[in-house]
Amino acid sequence: VLTAEDKKLIQQTWGKLGGAEEEIGAEALLRMFHSYLPTKTYFPHFDLSPGSDQIRGHGKKVVAALGNAIKNLDNLSQALSELSNLHAYNLRVDPVNFKAGRGMGTDAKPRFSLQFLSQCLQVTLATRLGKEYSPEVHSAVDKFMSAVAAVLAEKYR
Amino acid sequence: LPRLLIVYPWTQRFFDNFGNLSSPTAIIGNPKVRAHGKKVLTSFGEAIKNLDNLKGTYSKLSELHCERLHVDPENFRLLGDILVIVLAAHFGKDFTPACQATWQKLVGLVAHALAHKYH
C-alpha cells in the first residue's frame, strides 16, 4: 500500500527527471530487451537496436502513462484502466513468465514480465540519480511499479 | 542488504537477532546489518573469481541457507535485483545496458547456485 510518504517521494523523484522522461523510457526498454530476452517476443515488428525511433516512440508512451499514473496515485485503477484492457485483451503480455534457466527445477518461480520493466526502469533511474536513489526512494518506486503491474494484470481473467 | 530489509520488509524475518530494524534510518545505521552486507558481497567476490564453478563455490552456503537458515530461495532473486540497482546508482552512465544484462545473468546464476542444495 502506498503511504503518503511514498507518494511524496515518487512525485519528487519524477520531478527530478527534468524533461529527460523520454530518454528514460527508451533506455528502460532497451535495458529490458538486453537483460530479459523473452520480452523481445512482444516486439517482432520493432527495430530493437539502440537509438531506434520505435523504441524512443514507445518509451515516450510508457513514460507518459507512468507520469499520468503518478498524477493519479490515489486512483491508479481508473488512471490505468484503458491500459489494463489493452495489455489483457489486445497485447496479452504474459503475466506469468517462468524464469528461463538451466534446469531450474523446484526453484523456478513465475514472474510477471512487467517486473522486468520495473527492474530496468529502476536501474535507469538509479544510474541518473546516484546517491539520491536512496533506499526510501527505491522502496517507494518499487511499490509504485508493483501497484501499476497489479492494475495492468487485473483484467487478465 | 539494508535495502533488501527496507524495500522488502518481510525479509527482516531472517534477522530477528540483529537488533534495531524499526526504521530505514535504524536499518541503515545498524552495524550488524552492515557487517552482514559486507559478508554477502565478499562472497559475491569469491563467485566472480570462480565463475566456472559457481555451484561448487556456493555448495556449503547453499546447505547453510537451506538446512539451518530456512531462507526461501526467492529472496536470493530479490537481493540480486537490489544489488544490480545499487551498482547502477554507484556507476551511473557506466552501468550500460550490456553491463546490466551481464550482471542480471550473474545474480541469476548465483541465486540458482545458492538454491541448488535445497531439498
B25 touches chain A (CB under 8 A): no
Q: What pLDDT was estimated at residue B116?
A: 86
Q: What pLDDT was estimated at residue A21?
A: 87
Enumerate residues 6+ apart whose C-beta is below 8 A from B78. Answer: B4, B8, B11
Cα(B89)–Cα(B84) distance, integer angstroms:
9
Cα(A1)–Cα(A4) distance, integer angstroms:
10
Looking at chain B, how many residues does it have? 119
CA-to-CA dists, residue A121 to A10, A84, B58, B95, angstroms: 13, 19, 30, 13
Q: What pLDDT was estimated at residue B20?
A: 94
Enumerate residues 6+ apart whose C-beta is below 8 A from A94. Answer: A113
Over chain A (157 residues), the average pLDDT of each successive run of 10 is: 92 90 93 88 86 92 92 91 80 51 30 78 96 96 90 74
Q: What pLDDT was estimated at residue A94?
A: 64
Q: What pLDDT was estimated at residue A75?
A: 92
Q: Closest partner residue to A135 among B2, B92, B100, by Cβ? A: B2
**Long-range contacts (CB closer than 8 Å, 24 or more residues apart) made by B6-14:** B6/A135, B6/A136, B6/A138, B6/A139, B7/A135, B7/A138, B7/A139, B7/A142, B7/B82, B8/B75, B8/B78, B11/B75, B11/B78, B14/B69, B14/B71, B14/B75
Cα(B6)–Cα(A39) distance, integer angstroms:
29
Report whether B54 contacts B47 (CB < 8 A).
yes
Q: Where are the domains of chain A?
A: 4-156
Q: What pLDDT was estimated at residue A107?
A: 30
Query: What global pTM score does this model have?
Result: 0.84
Q: Which domain holds residue B110?
A: 1-115
Q: What pLDDT was estimated at residue A97?
A: 37
Q: Domain count of chain B? A: 1
Kindly report, residue by residue over B4-33, the tens digit of the pLDDT. 999 998 889 888 899 999 999 999 999 999
Would you tell me which residues 62-121 of chain A have a C-beta closer than 8 angstroms to some C-beta of chain B? 99, 101-102, 104, 106-107, 109, 119-120
Report whether B21 contacts B15 (CB < 8 A).
yes
Give the residue from B4, B7, B109 with the most A CB atoms within 10 Å of its CB, the best one to mutate.
Answer: B7
Residues B51-66: b if buried by 16+ CB within 10 A, e if exposed: eeebeebbeebbbebb
* Best CATH choice for the domain A4-156 from the list 1.20.58.1610, 1.10.357.10, 1.20.1250.20, 1.10.490.10: 1.10.490.10
Give the residue from B4, B5, B6, B10 with the most A CB atoms within 10 Å of its CB, the best one to mutate.
Answer: B6
B28 touches chain A (CB under 8 A): yes
Kindly report, residue by residue over B57-110, the tens digit of the pLDDT. 898 888 898 888 888 888 899 999 999 999 999 999 999 999 999 999 999 999
Would you tell me which residues 69-88 of chain B have a C-beta closer than 8 angstroms to some C-beta of chain A? 73-74, 77, 81-82, 84-86, 88
ipTM of the shown complex: 0.80
Cα(B81)–Cα(B85) distance, integer angstroms:
6
- Number of Cβ atoms within 10 Å of the Cβ of A85: 14
Q: What pLDDT was estimated at residue A103?
A: 28
Q: B42: domain CATH number? A: 1.10.490.10
